[in-house]
Amino acid sequence: MQGAAAYFGESVENHGLNFSVLAFHTEPLFGCSVVFYPPRTTIGRSGVLSRNLDFTTGNMIGRRPRGTQPAALSRPYIIESYPDEGYPSLFLCSMDLLGTAFDGINSQGLCAALLTDTELMREHKMEPSNDLQVGFNEIQLIRYLLETCADVDEAKDALLQVKQYYSFVPCHYIIADANGRAFLWELSYSRNKSHIIDSDGEPLVTTNFMLHQYPDRKKLPTERNPQGIYSRFRRLSERIGKHEGGYDLEFIKETSACVAFDKLAPPANSPWMPNRTIWHALYVPDELLLMVDFYLGESIDPADPSKPLVQRSGYLEFRLEP
């Protein structure tokens, strides 16, 4: 905050200005699918957090950008951070450059990612703060965990102690560590009750609903949309469950690809832009490694106008210096 204030020639003591955020292209909607594979389940005996960040390719409300207007998530950043106090971290962010992250890993091998609670948003009236409050908002919380927690136990303690609110949309979180442990952190609609769901040594799957509401996974609601929040969860769980033997990196990539948003093109002349998997990130705690594949754009397949030709970057690799 001091650095931001100094850059703009202001004093950090000026409480009429907010120096804790450097916001850009802000947009309140997300959709994601994430799986953590514990070390004992993988061929290389290394844990892997596999994360699809799904989002509109349109503007802030999902419409086709006009003129030079940018798409909402057209400028994601990969940031390597070495704070004066706290753990170094490597993370992906957008919308704000100062204190936020959508997913990341720190020097101790702690990984974390956020997901929107789409189901909760459908069933309840939302009460976003639309401004700063005491505590951490939904995209500040990841940075707090990465910079202050070494493992799952410390992350649980931190989450149980800090005040949390949402500026735009309610989220839940998946957190994993270098020891192969992982858990989901979910808050009730009123933000008055917290739920911790441990992986118990098995792959931990989450999409855009809160798992604590469905102790019997066989009773998940049905939906027609194959990219729906329950459909993606079922497809991931079934594919992982049917696989025999350890999971290798190619299987993990293919499993996340089976729920990626890259199948249907938008209707011709539609003002609405399609959702796409903006990035697929793989975090490997043992190696402090991030592998990420970005959405770059698309065109229409001339042989079949109903199918898009999606262009992607291919996987880029980054390692955090401990």
Tell me the pLDDT of the chain (322 aa) as tens digits.
888 888 889 898 888 787 777 665 544 455 699 999 999 999 999 999 999 999 988 877 778 888 888 888 889 999 999 999 999 999 999 888 888 999 999 999 999 999 999 998 888 888 888 777 888 999 999 999 999 999 999 999 999 999 999 888 899 999 999 999 999 999 998 888 999 999 999 999 999 999 999 999 989 999 988 899 999 999 999 999 999 999 999 999 999 999 999 887 777 777 888 889 999 999 999 999 999 999 999 888 888 877 889 999 999 999 998 7
Smallest Cα–Cα separation from 203: which of 170, 231, 172, 242?
242
CA dist list (Å): 163 to 136, 140, 151, 156:
6, 12, 20, 13
- Quickly tell me which residue has 């739920």 as its tokens: 195
Q: How confident is the model at residue 58, as a pLDDT?
A: 84
- Check if the beta carbon of residue 71 is closer than 8 Å to that of residue 59: yes
Question: How many C-beta atoms lie closer than 10 Å to residue 216's C-beta?
Answer: 6
| Residue 171 dihedral angles phi and psi, to the nearest 5° | -135, 160
Greatest alpha-carbon pair distance for the chain in Å reads: 61
Q: How confident is the model at residue 30, as a pLDDT?
A: 54
| pTM (two decimals) | 0.90
Can you say how many angstroms the Cα of residue 146 is from the centroid of all Cα atoms in its chain?
14
Q: Could you give the CA distance from residue 57 to residue 271 in angstroms, rounded to a whole number?
A: 12
Q: How confident is the model at residue 216, as a pLDDT?
A: 92
Question: Which DSSP category does 38 fall into?
Answer: -
Q: What is the DSSP string of 45-100?
A: S--EEEEEEEEESSSTTSBPPPTTPPPTTS--EEEEE--SSS--EEEEE-SBSSS-
Lookup: tokens for 134: 């005491």
Smallest Cα–Cα separation from 116: which of 106, 105, 128?
128
Q: How confident is the model at residue 236, as a pLDDT?
A: 97
Lookup: tokens for 218: 């066989």
Domains of the chain: 27-319 (3.60.60.10)
Handedness of CA 159, 161, 162, 164 (dihedral sign): positive
